[in-house]
Amino acid sequence: MSESAKLTLSGKEVELPLVKGTENEVGIDISKLRGQTGAITLDNGFGNTGSCSSAITYLDGEKGILRYRGYPIEQLCEHSNFLEASYLSIYGELPTLPQYKDWERNITHHTMIREDIKKYWDAWPHTAHPMATLSSVVSALSTFYEDSGDPWDPREVEIAIHRLIAKMPTIAAYAYKKSVGQPKVYPQNKLGYAANFLNMMFSMPTEDYEIDPIVEKALDQLFILHLDHEQNCSTSTVRIVGSSHANLFASVAAGVCALWGPLHGGANQQVLEMLEAIHAAGGNVDQFVARAKDKKDNFRLYGFGHRVYKNFDPRARIIKKTADQVLERLGVNDPLLEIAKKLEEVALSDPYFIERKLYPNVDFYSGILYKAMGFPTKFFTVLFAIGRLPGWIAHWKEMIESPATKIGRPRQIYTGATERPFVPISQR
């Protein structure tokens, strides 16, 4: 293969260098194209655009491969845990035992949040969406921790990383406790990451709360599965906000907002709401499948399809197995789960979905699993955010440390009115 691509524009030939990744992915470097020709590339939704080079996550949507720093997601789910996988994604290597112990201690030492921060929840209505309060509190951390906001000071960045990973579950659990009018439960540093979160969510001062090890393991695994997914919408948001040298807290707060949308992390909430709607309408799955296929109807089957996975979503495969185990363990008997199973069956055998390669994605099963674990629907995307946080951090750090980074500032093709004289209001 030649080392460059040639492009002919208005009779002029320009040579564009090729960039090759370690997995032989090829990119055409167009960074000098505008300077040489005056033309830009146009790629709505960036489906064909590489915004950076990155060594964190590799995925192959055709083959259903997902690896963090070279380690297959299946192996990490089986042998690792969320904190270790977080270290791996942020620092590039699996930790040694002393490194892991240090990392774990640093995270567990920062789990409490300032008492002042709790007052935010007094101001918000109990109906506040937890993604809104999560992004606000994460952003507000930069006001409480100005001593760890300098992107150019490695020690400050390190402390900001510990603070964010440690405090995110506490912030999330406080949002939940506010929504149900229960007292907030302080973190317990003797518990593991997922167990501590479950305890803050579901324990009450009035009775003992026992953490089911199967549920704890499943939640930890769900966090690993959501940890990173290269340049997705929220990660690209974190990178682009950080490219202006905004601090880590501010960049992550923006990522939380990007994740909230129903076409991204918000899809797991939409899945459950869709199942509830199907149930309320009498459980007729075929009718909803028909609506999803009708181009005049905006309705989509949430939890189906993916921008990059066009054969299967490897995360969905792992989750499906875990979901079966957890549901059996918890003995859940929920009509929504029956509807989900029917929907999966119908969609997987329908030519519309087969032709368009629309398979159940990670959100389809995670929503079902979260519901069985007792999380309220509105809370599902928050769980995704906790899992995705180390991925955002890894990308922000990689971006800040890369000499190739420039402020993110795409171009456009202007399609508005050409110059025209101002018309006074009396003459319009």
Residue type, 176: Y
Residue 309: strand, helix, or coil:
coil
To ligand ACO, the closest distance from the beta carbon of 23 in angstroms equals 21
To the query of whether residue 110 is one of the catalytic residues in this protein, the response is no
- Which lies closer to ligand ACO via its Cβ, residue 306 or residue 397? 306
Residue 65: strand, helix, or coil:
strand
Rg (CA), the chain: 23
Contacts with ligand ACO by CB under 6 A lie at: 263-265, 267, 292, 300-307, 356, 358, 361-363
Residue type, 303: G
- Which lies closer to ligand ACO via its Cβ, residue 130 or residue 367? 367
Six-digit token string for 416: 């508005």
- Which lies closer to ligand ACO via its Cβ, residue 237 or residue 247? 237
Q: Which of 228, 306, 313, 395 is catalytic?
A: 306
Which is nearest to 172 in space by CA: 196, 147, 188, 189?
196
To the query of whether residue 363 is one of the catalytic residues in this protein, the response is yes
To ligand ACO, the closest distance from the beta carbon of 3 in angstroms equals 31
How would you class 379 by CB atoms within 10 Å of its CB: exposed for 0-12, middle for 13-18, buried for 19 or more?
buried
Query: Tokens 């659990």 sit at which residue?
Result: 173
Task: Name 207's bridge partners.
Answer: 204
Would you give the DSSP letter of residue 23? Answer: T
Task: Name 8's bridge partners.
Answer: 13
Q: Which of 226, 228, 363, 395 is catalytic?
A: 363
To ligand ACO, the closest distance from the beta carbon of 195 in angstroms equals 25
Residue type, 381: T
Query: Tokens 């969406």 sit at which residue?
Result: 129
DSSP 384-404: HHHHHHHHHHHHHHHHHH-TT
Tell me the residue number closest to ligand ACO, measured at CB: 305
Q: Quick one: how far is CA 153 from the chain centroid?
A: 26
- Which lies closer to ligand ACO via its Cβ, residue 199 or residue 270? 270
- Which lies closer to ligand ACO via its Cβ, residue 129 or residue 388? 388
To ligand ACO, the closest distance from the beta carbon of 323 in angstroms equals 16
To ligand ACO, the closest distance from the beta carbon of 175 in angstroms equals 21
To ligand ACO, the closest distance from the beta carbon of 264 in angstroms equals 4
Six-digit token string for 64: 């259903």
- Which lies closer to ligand ACO via its Cβ, residue 174 or residue 309? 309
Active site residues: 306, 363
